[in-house]
Structure 1
Amino acid sequence: MSEYRLSRRDLIRASLYGGAGLAAASLVPGLAMAAPEERPRRQDQPLEFALVGGLFNIGWWIDPRMGWTAAAKELNINITEVGPVDFNGADQATMMEQVVASKPDAIIMTPLDPDQLVDPCRKATEAGIPVMIFNSDIRDPRYRMGLIGMQNFNGGYLQGQYILNNLLKGKEAKALIMTVPGVENHESRKAGLLKAFEEGGNVTVAEIVNDQADYTVGPQVATAALQANPDINLIVATDATGGESACRALTEMGKADGSVIVMGMDRDDSMLKFIKDGVMAATAVQRNFLELYLATVFMYNHVKGNWIKGAFPSAPDDALGLLPAQVPPLT
Structure 2
Amino acid sequence: MKKMYILLVTIMIFALLAGCAQPTQAPEPTKAEAEAPDTPEEPVEAPAEEPAEAPAEEPAVAPSDRLYFEVNALTSLPYFIDHRLGLEYAGHALGADTKYVGPVDYDMNAMINTLEQAVAEDPDGINIVGFDPALKPAIDAAVEQGIPVVTLDAEVYGSDRLTFLGTGNYNAGRVGAQILAEEIGSSGKVALITKVGQSNLEERIQGYKDEFAENYPDIEVVQVIDDQSDSAKAADGLKALLQREPDLAGVGCVEAAGGVGAATAVKELDMVGDVIIVSMDRDDGTLKFIEDGTIYASIAQQTALMTFIGTILMDGLMHNPVPIVKDNEAADIVPMPNIVDTGVLVITADNA
With the shorter chain as reference, the TM-score category is 0.7 to 0.9
Q: Please state how far the C-alpha of 1:51 moved relative to its aligned partner.
A: 0.7
Q: Please state how far the C-alpha of 1:254 moved relative to its aligned partner.
A: 2.6
Work out which of the residue numbers 140, 162, 168 in structure 2 matches 1:145.
162
C-alpha spacing 1:201/1:77, structure 2 compared with 1 (3 Å): same
- Provide structure 1 residue ranges, at least 5 long, that are not aligned to the other structure: 1-43
Q: Please state how far the C-alpha of 1:217 moved relative to its aligned partner.
A: 2.7
Residue by residue, what CA displacement relative to the aligned partner does 1:281-316 show, whole Å, maximum 9, x if unpaired?
101011112121111111111121334544538768
Q: Which position in structure 2 is the counterpart of 1:305?
A: 320
Residue 194 of structure 1 pairs with residue 209 of structure 2: yes
Equivalent-residue separation in structure 2 for 1:173 and 1:153 (angstroms): 22
Q: In the comparison of the two structures, how many residue pairs are matched?
A: 280
Q: Which position in structure 2 is the counterpart of 1:47?
A: 66
Is the 1:275–1:326 Cα contact (8 Å) retained in structure 2?
no
Taking structure 1 as the reference length, the TM-score comes to: 0.78
Matches within 5 A, 1:285-300: 285-300=300-315
Residue 123 of structure 1 pairs with residue 148 of structure 2: no
Work out which of the residue numbers 163, 173, 194 in structure 1 matches 2:180.
163
SS at match of 2:76: coil
Q: Which runs of 4+ in 1 moved over 6 A?
A: 313-316
SS at match of 2:256: coil
Q: Please state how far the C-alpha of 1:233 moved relative to its aligned partner.
A: 2.1
Larger radius of gyration: 2
Taking structure 2 as the reference length, the TM-score comes to: 0.74
SS at match of 2:87: helix
Equivalent-residue separation in structure 2 for 1:227 and 1:130 (angstroms): 50
**Range with greater deviation from structure 2 (278-287 or 215-224):** 215-224
Equivalent-residue separation in structure 2 for 1:281 and 1:103 (angstroms): 46
Residue 236 of structure 1 pairs with residue 252 of structure 2: yes
SS at match of 2:346: strand
C-alpha spacing 1:51/1:231, structure 2 compared with 1 (3 Å): same
Equivalent-residue separation in structure 2 for 1:218 and 1:46 (angstroms): 45
C-alpha spacing 1:310/1:299, structure 2 compared with 1 (3 Å): closer
Tell me which amino acid in the other structure corresponds to 1:52: V
Equivalent-residue separation in structure 2 for 1:220 and 1:128 (angstroms): 47
C-alpha spacing 1:88/1:222, structure 2 compared with 1 (3 Å): farther
Is the 1:52–1:107 Cα contact (8 Å) retained in structure 2?
yes
Residue 281 of structure 1 pairs with residue 296 of structure 2: yes
Greater relative contact order (Cα < 8 A, sep 6+): 1
RMSD: 2.2
Is the 1:52–1:83 Cα contact (8 Å) retained in structure 2?
yes
Is the 2:84–2:307 Cα contact (8 Å) retained in structure 1?
yes
Q: Which position in structure 2 is the counterpart of 1:154?
A: 171
Equivalent-residue separation in structure 2 for 1:321 and 1:291 (angstroms): 15
Tell me which amino acid in the other structure corresponds to 1:287: Q
Identity, in percent, stands at: 28
**Range with greater deviation from structure 2 (57-66 or 293-302):** 57-66
**Range with greater deviation from structure 2 (190-199 or 77-86):** 77-86
Q: Which position in structure 1 is the counterpart of 2:347?
A: 323
Residue by residue, what CA displacement relative to the aligned partner does 1:48-71 show, whole Å, maximum 9, x if unpaired?
111111212222112222211111
Tell me which amino acid in the other structure corresponds to 2:242: L
